[in-house]
Amino acid sequence: MGRHGTIAGRKAAQDNKRAAIFTKYARAIMVAAKGGGDPGSNASLKNAIDKARGINMPNDKITRAIKKGTGELEGESYETASFEGYGPSGVAVIVDVLTDNKNRTTSAVKHAFDRFGGNLGVPGCVSYMFERKGVILIEMGAGADEDAIMEAGLDAGLEDIIDADEFFEIRTTPDDFLAVAEALRGAGYELAESDVEYIPNMETAPKNDADLRALVRLIDALDENDDVQKVYTNSAVELVSE
């Protein structure tokens, strides 16, 4: 895939800096918990908790984040936002954030674009180059069979299954994502990763090695910001940190 890290690639990168991303996952749990602190009746919260456990986030941190979200503990109030712009060679970039200070985050995101040869744009300037899709990864082997996965998720809204190296990549509409994830868990499948993603429908390749290096540095700088949850690109080549 051309976007910055497939979620499989991002998961591997996250495993290498687990401590640094606990803050990001805690924020996601806090926001989801505003809809109720019981994951049995709040599918968004259950999905956020499952992702946190996937990176071995300690249970006490998960519990604390839930209580902050429900108001049982004092905590910051976070809002979601997205930024769109162009990296080197005109590669499209979308940045999803959770922030308690949008002015601070806007300044930091703009600084990263400016520093590495990009341009922060206006809402909608690049999002037309992407589709929003629910994306679920199930590791191949260990009893995972494409036909059986299709049967388990089809009634819940599963749209497609793609062979993604060592994983089956299941795609859904954003509205059906949680229902499909629950159906697959109910059928006994362990989800390696799951989320609603921006999938590029048109791709752009960096024009030269210098632009490629600058694009990688831009993505790394954005990823290092605690406010940034995810970064997507329509790069036609995989972006790997040096």
pLDDT in tens, 15-34: 556 666 888 899 999 999 99
Give me the pLDDT at residue 9, please: 57
Can you tell me the distance from the alpha carbon of 55 to that of 237, in angstroms, rounded to the nearest whole number? Answer: 26
Give me the pLDDT at residue 12, please: 53
Number of structural domains (the chain) is: 3
36 has pLDDT over 50: yes
Inside any domain, residue 86: yes
Are residues 234 and 91 in contact, defined by beta-carbon separation less than 8 angstroms? yes
Inside any domain, residue 165: yes
Domain that holds residue 104: 79-123+203-233
Letter for the amino acid at 40? G
- pTM, two decimal places: 0.84
**Do residue 171 and residue 228 come from a single domain?**
no
Give me the pLDDT at residue 144, please: 82
Confidence band (pLDDT; 50, 70, 90) for 1?
very low
Q: pLDDT by residue (tens digit) across 38-67?
A: 998 998 899 899 888 888 899 999 999 999
Say which CATH number the domain at 186 has: 3.30.70.980
Give me the pLDDT at residue 15, please: 52
Residue 2 has φ and ψ, to the nearest 5°, of -85, -15
**Do residue 216 and residue 228 come from a single domain?**
yes
10 has pLDDT over 60: no
Give me the pLDDT at residue 143, please: 73
Can you tell me the distance from the alpha carbon of 126 to that of 91, in angstroms, rounded to the nearest whole number? Answer: 9
Letter for the amino acid at 54? G
Inside any domain, residue 241: no
**Do residue 30 and residue 89 come from a single domain?**
no
**Do residue 57 and residue 155 come from a single domain?**
no
